[in-house]
Structure 1
Amino acid sequence: MKLDPFYLIVDSAAWIERLVPLGVRLVQLRIKTMDEVGLRAEIRKARALCTHHQCQLIVNDHWRQAMEEGCDFVHLGQEDLQTADLSQIRAAGVRLGLSTHDHAELETAMAAEPDYLALGPIYPTILKKMKWAPQGLERIAEWKRLVAPIPLVAIGGLNPDRLDGVFEAGADSAAVVTDITLHADPEGRTREWIEKTRPWR
């Protein structure tokens, strides 16, 4: 399986509606807290937008809803992995991405036979408080040796200037949240990411 090198992560279908038409091919909808009705409406809208624009949609955490709404990809953190029904996810034909931060988590993730693995944070990140120190480019190279041929996603503190180093170290895809969503010009920054990742497509 090949992942697009530009992996956008947003928290609403409104962001997807705004940025995906610019040429985004891979996007994760990451909604942490929302009531069931609202959540399903967001997933449904995101899926319709992504289908229209030939963009791969990944739903974070909410694997049951993603499955029931016909999405083909979920991403789970380590805590969610403990409670998710992997056999049900697999039986529905839904592909699986998993987060890792250290060797113990990597071992747990590999046992679940994921379709891709994420490693982070590569650099310091403002998105959420992390108990892990920045992993650095050397850890990307190490993880790639351990997980290949499974695609590896780098996340945490990334921006266009850091992408060459991340890909040269072995990452297959680079995930971004705040460098785009907190940017003064999210559309312009998205175009910059698309342009910068084009050689790696």
Structure 2
Amino acid sequence: MKIEKSDLLLYAVTDRGCLKGKSLEEAVEEAILGGVTCVQMREKKASEEEMIEEAQKLLKICHKYNVPLIINDDYNVALKSGADGVHVGIEDAPVAEIRRIAGENFIIGATAKTVEQARLAESSGADYLGVGAVFPSPTKTNAIRITPQQLTEICGCVNIPAVAIGGITAENVHEIKGCGHSGIAVVSAVFGAYDVKAAAEQLCRAVRDTF
């Protein structure tokens, strides 16, 4: 599977810590039914075996709706579980190394906070960028902020699509209108909602108004 620009409209990153009494599987399915177009599984405290098992459960749900499943950071878990790809941060394994190991049909997303990082990720074989934090993030309180102008510059300097990430809500997403992003990535704005499906629907409507 290769990622399409349309797959990045509403990119949801999982966080067990903000679920309101639902299982992760229930929340992911509700999110997809509400319009989520890509799911990233982020598990910071699980073992590799636990992550593979969870990824395989989520993969069944995601593929039921033709939604890609991306694994945060760990490309070995992604490959062993059969997930569609991995998203790596600046301090994780180099994109070029992952591409060499995983092949062309494996999705690789990369974090970029500068034009230089974005260009390096693209030239190394990344399929898309995650750019941010565009607002203060409740899940990454130490995240480096970027301005709407910087977001525009980063999105405009590469030919691969980019998602804006970091503290985005349906109420503030209008502040990045016209910045060149292909979509938004959110965590608590979807998975922290009591009604996950309704939250995803609201975010879908809001992000479409920013193009």
Scaled by the length of structure 1, the TM-score of the pair is 0.86
Deviation at 1:19, TM superposition (A): 2.2
Q: Give unmatched runs, 5+ long, in structure 2.
A: 17-23
CA change 1:64–1:97 in 2 (3 A) is same
Any residues of structure 2 matched to 1:94-113 within 5 Å, and which? 94-113=106-125
Corresponding position of 2:141: 129
SS at 1:81's partner residue? Answer: coil
**2:11 aligned with 1:7:** yes
> Contact between 2:34 and 2:196, CA under 8 Å: does it hold in 1?
no
> Which position in structure 2 is the counterpart of 1:194?
204
Aligned residue pairs, count: 198
Contact 1:9 / 1:27 at 8 angstroms: preserved in 2? yes
Q: Assess, with a 3 A threshold, how the Cα gap between structure 1 residues 17 and 54 changes in structure 2: closer, same or farther.
A: same
Superposed CA offset, 1:71-99 (max 9, x none): 222111112124954301225x2111001
Task: Give the match's secondary structure for 1:96.
Answer: strand
Tell whether the 8 Å contact from 2:30 to 2:196 is kept in structure 1 after alignment: no
Structure 1 distance, partners of 2:89, 2:171, is 27
* Distance in 2 of aligned mates of 1:131 and 1:164: 21
Match of 1:86 in 2: 99
Partner deviation per Cα, 1:51-80 (whole Å, 9 max, x = no partner): 112212111112112112222221111121
Between structures 1 and 2, the one with greater helix share: 1
Give how far 1:168 is off: 1.2
In structure 2, what is the equivalent of residue 171 of structure 1? 181
CA RMSD of aligned residues (A): 2.4
Between 6-15 and 28-37, report the one with greater CA deviation.
6-15
Shift of the alpha carbon at 1:151? 0.1
Is the CA contact (8 Å cut-off) linking 1:166 and 1:174 kept in structure 2? no
For residues 115-162 of structure 1, the C-alpha deviation after alignment (integer angstroms, 9 at most, x for no partner) is 001111001112113252x21211111112211x21011001111133
Identity of aligned residues (%): 25
Higher relative contact order (CA 8 A, sep 6+): 2
Structure 2 distance, partners of 1:89, 1:164, is: 37
Contact 1:5 1:200 in 2 (8 A): no
Aligned to 1:182: 192
CA distance in 1, matches of 2:141, 2:208: 31
Tell me the residue number matched to 1:69. Answer: 81
Whole-Å separation in 1 of the counterparts to 2:98 and 2:190? 33
Tell me how far 1:196 sits from its aligned partner: 2.5
Match of 1:161 in 2: 171
Q: Unpaired runs of 5+ in structure 1?
A: none
* Structure 1 runs of 4+ with >6 Å offset: none
Give, in whole Å, the separation in 2 of the partners of 1:86 and 1:49.
26
Q: How high is the TM-score relative to the length of structure 2?
A: 0.82
